[in-house]
Chain A
Amino acid sequence: DIVMTQSPDSLAVSLGERATINCKSSQSVLYSSNNKNSLAWYQQKPGQPPKLLTYWASTRESGVPDRFSGSGSETDFTLTISSLQAEDVAVYFCQQYYSSPPTFGQGTKVEIK
């Protein structure tokens, strides 16, 4: 299985400031057929299911605010929240879908400083 490792486990950011979450895969998730990285990001608020934010590493899901952006390639990826809002307090997960079984990172908890 591909192991996904996120850092940090938690971070506290002031409102309006940038939050950066990292995700590292144990092997490349670059899909050669379309030259895209098979990496998705999800947001999970307490008591709710995860919500898809981005896929193919940087494609934002419809309806997701543009303050959320994904980047990275092969084994190293980043989710950036450009200006943290109160409603962004949540746990964020990365997930690879390059190979089965799909696997998730352990999650990063984002709080307000």
Chain B
Amino acid sequence: QVQLQESGPGLVKPSQTLSLTCTVSGGSISSGAYYWSWIRQHPGKGLEWIGYVYHSGSTYYNPSLRGRVIISVDTSKNHFSLRLSSVTAADTAVYYCARDRDSSGFSVLGYWGQGTLVTVS
């Protein structure tokens, strides 16, 4: 059973860069045609897809964040990462990493990390 765990600073200053890592266990990032995603949830609000990375390194970013976000993968460490630059208070949210339920290529999220709260202040 694949498991995901987010890690990184819980507090980031405005204008700085938010950096999070998602460590995958119970399976290899480089095996299987899965997309590895970052999603965030503003306090008490809905869910926003940030983007995803394929094991090859190819990426897709939500246009609403394009220009500020980079998602990368390190198959040797079996983790993938999120960098969001020039953060403001509006980027305060719980950040989740997740994986598709299967390798069909459709963005149906079957596996989630527990989430990590990042506060910009």
Contact = CB atoms under 8 A, between A and B. Distances in A.
Find the residue from B107, B110, B113 having the highest chain A CB count within 10 A.
B107
Main secondary structure of the interface of B (DSSP, over half): loop
A19 interface: no
B89 interface: no
Given A49-B96, A52-B108, A103 B49 contact: yes
A52 B112 CA distance: 9
Contacts of A102: 49, 107
Interface residues of B, number: 22
A97 B39 CA distance: 14
A49 B112 contact: yes
Given A49-B114, A55-B101, A101 B49 contact: yes
A20 interface: no
B86 interface: no
Given A49-B114, A52-B108, A61-B110, A101 B47 contact: no
A75 B15 CA distance: 40
Contact of B112 (A1, A40, A50, A55): A50
A58 interface: no
| Size category, A interface | 20 to 34
Nearest to A93: B47
A94 to B, nearest CB: 10
Interface string A87-105: 0000001010100111111
B52 to A, nearest CB: 9
Given A52-B108, A103-B49, 17 more contacts: A40-B108, A40-B109, A42-B109, A48-B114, A49-B114, A50-B112, A51-B112, A52-B101, A52-B110, A55-B108, A61-B101, A93-B46, A95-B47, A101-B60, A101-B62, A104-B47, A107-B46
